[in-house]
């Protein structure tokens, strides 16, 4: 493979010190005013000011050179929390919700998460693959180069494995990195109504070993919330996953402060997600344990609710990541650009903090920071060229895509969604 150099770029990249960025480091960005990126075999070999990177290259042969035209160059987005493997949209439910119908009433009418569970039960692996691939390609077209996808609409061993099989096929077939997460404890199935303990036992004894044997997902998640799974059930499941050598994360304190953030800290989870209701003491515990807070502003936007307290978390030294939460019910978007803008305009995050939140900290929250999330020597050459001079264009130019070109491992990929 020829050596490739991308020059004449305004390069902005998080500074990776070997751990998620928190506190003042949440906005620590390296900027090269006339920067260059040197890539060999899909891996970054050098980065910095063009005059330094290009020094001595005249001795090299087979150099492909690309002039970036002074545009902004940033790492590819890492979306660390999605539910974009599903079988059917819930558009009619959205109309009911914006008209004021409460969620529990929608649930009684056959909507809500259980409608997604029913649709997955009726779908084939091919159906799920087709739908998930479409969402992954749309995310890619908007600048996402690494994508987490959860199961969780199966709620039986057979259907959870079916979802993960579809996710695994997408991971093989699309030009981006896909991380699969097992979320068998996403909701209590109808047949286990009032028997959540029994369902958790099933997930631990039957689903977890089957998922581990399948070998597609190495991360386990659970939805701890009032009316779903409690903290002790979460502790049992996540500890069982840890015992199998899996990473763990948790849907924590989205509506009620149950102590999910503290559980994440106790187990040293790679992330705790949502956190709208988490208290300062438990957020501080996350900071001490180095747990990443995955915040999901598009969900708050869609549900017309308050946003997570990103500013307070940063001041408490919690590393903050940002994600789309792409799902058919509460956040149907694949756009990390949209999430970036919401974080800047509605969550008191600076563009530099939002850049780290959508790249490096997100990579840490799915165990991928050794490969992606920042433009460092030895990492993959995953980067974007923007229609602007700084990352602020992503929030400033609202409602459009500011991503002009997308590169995965140094190779330009088509940003036209299929």
pLDDT tens by residue, 44-74: 999 999 999 988 786 666 689 999 999 999 9
Look over the chain and give the mean of its residue pLDDT values, rounded to a whole number: 95
82 plus 228 within the same structural domain = yes
CA 135, 403, 275, 203: dihedral to nearest 10 degrees?
30
Q: Lowest-confidence range among 65-74, 110-119, 266-275, 384-393?
A: 110-119
**pTM given for the model:** 0.96
> In this structure, are 43 and 181 located in the same domain?
no
- The pLDDT of residue 365: 98
| Burial of residue 193 (number of CB atoms within 10 Å: 0-12, 13-18, 19+) | exposed
Neighbours of 305 (CB within 10 A): 13
**Has residue 112 got a pLDDT over 90?**
no
Same domain as 148, residue 25: no
Q: Quick one: average pLDDT of 165-193?
A: 97
Q: Give the pLDDT confidence score for residue 364 in this predicted structure.
A: 98
Distance CA 118, CA 376 (A): 44
Give the chain's domain count: 2
Q: Specify the range with the lowest mean pLDDT, choosing from 17-31, 89-103, 229-243.
A: 89-103
Q: Does residue 291 belong to any structural domain of this protein? A: yes
User: pLDDT band at residue 109, thresholds of 50, 70 and 90?
Assistant: confident
Residue 418 lies in a domain: no
Per-residue pLDDT at 417: 58
Q: HSE on the CB side for 3, CA within 13 Å?
A: 16
CA 8 to chain centre: 30
Closest to 282 (Cα-Cα) out of 368, 346, 233, 224: 224
Do 245 and 318 lie in a common domain?
A: yes
Ranges of beta strands (E only) in 253-372 are 271-274, 292-295, 320-322
CB 378 within 8 A of CB 386: no
**Least confident interval from 96-100, 140-144, 244-248, 322-326:** 96-100
Distance (Å, whole) CA 418 – CA 25: 38
Same domain, 198 and 211: yes
Same domain, 215 and 271: yes
Distances (CA, A) of 49 to 32, 52, 80, 100, 328: 6, 6, 31, 54, 44
Residues 279, 265 share a domain: yes
| Largest interatomic CA distance in the chain | 72
What was the pLDDT predicted at 1? 63
Residues 82 and 72 in one domain: no
Whose tokens are 């995050």? That residue is: 349
Q: Which residue is it, tokens 């800290």?
A: 265
190 and 328 housed in the same domain? yes
DSSP 190: G
Same domain? 57 vs 81: no
Question: What value does the mean pLDDT take over residues 255-267?
Answer: 97
The answer to whether 66 touches 6, Cβ cutoff 8 Å, is: yes
104 pLDDT above the threshold of 70: no
Phi/psi for 204 (5° steps) reads -70, -50
Structure tokens belonging to residue 39: 């890539």
> Looking at the predicted structure, is the pLDDT value of residue 12 above 80?
yes
């Amino acid at each position: 493979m020829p050596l490739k150099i991308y020059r004449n770029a305004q390069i902005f990249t998080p500074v990776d010190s070997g751990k998620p960025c928190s506190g003042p480091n949440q906005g620590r960005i390296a900027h090269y005013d006339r920067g260059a990126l040197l890539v060999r075999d899909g891996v970054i070999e050098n980065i910095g000011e063009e005059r330094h990177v290009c020094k001595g290259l005249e001795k090299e042969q087979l150099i492909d050179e690309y002039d970036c035209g002074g545009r902004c160059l940033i790492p590819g987005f890492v979306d660390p929390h999605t539910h974009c493997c599903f079988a059917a949209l819930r558009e009619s439910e959205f109309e009911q919700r914006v008209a004021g119908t409460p969620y529990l009433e929608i649930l009684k009418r056959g909507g809500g998460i259980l409608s997604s569970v029913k649709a997955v039960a009726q779908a084939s692996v091919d159906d799920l693959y087709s739908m998930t691939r479409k969402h992954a390609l749309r995310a890619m077209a908007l600048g996402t180069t690494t994508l987490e996808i959860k199961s969780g609409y199966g709620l039986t061993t057979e259907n959870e494995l079916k979802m993960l099989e579809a996710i695994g096929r997408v991971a093989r077939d699309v030009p981006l990195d896909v991380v699969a997460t097992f979320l068998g404890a996403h909701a209590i199935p109808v047949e286990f109504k009032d028997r959540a303990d029994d369902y958790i036992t099933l997930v631990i004894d039957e689903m977890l070993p089957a998922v581990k044997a399948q070998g597609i997902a190495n991360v386990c998640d659970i939805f701890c919330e009032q009316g779903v799974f409690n903290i002790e059930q979460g502790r049992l499941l996540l500890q069982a996953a840890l015992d199998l050598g899996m990473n763990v994360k948790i849907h924590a304190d989205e509506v009620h402060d149950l102590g999910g953030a503290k559980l994440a800290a106790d187990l040293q989870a790679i992330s705790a997600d949502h956190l709208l209701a988490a208290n300062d003491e438990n957020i501080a515990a996350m900071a001490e344990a180095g747990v990443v807070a995955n915040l999901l502003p598009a969900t708050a936007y869609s549900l017309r609710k308050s946003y997570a307290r990103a500013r307070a978390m940063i001041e408490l030294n919690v590393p903050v990541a940002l994600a789309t939460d792409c799902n058919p019910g509460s956040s149907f978007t694949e756009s990390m650009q949209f999430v970036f803008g919401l974080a800047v305009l509605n969550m008191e995050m600076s563009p530099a903090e939002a850049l780290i939140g959508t790249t490096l900290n997100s990579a840490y929250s799915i165990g991928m920071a050794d490969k992606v999330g920042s433009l460092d020597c030895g990492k993959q050459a995953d980067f974007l060229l923007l229609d602007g001079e700084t990352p602020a264009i992503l929030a400033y130019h609202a409602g459009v895509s500011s991503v002009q070109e997308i590169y995965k491992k140094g190779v330009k990929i088509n940003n036209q969604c299929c």
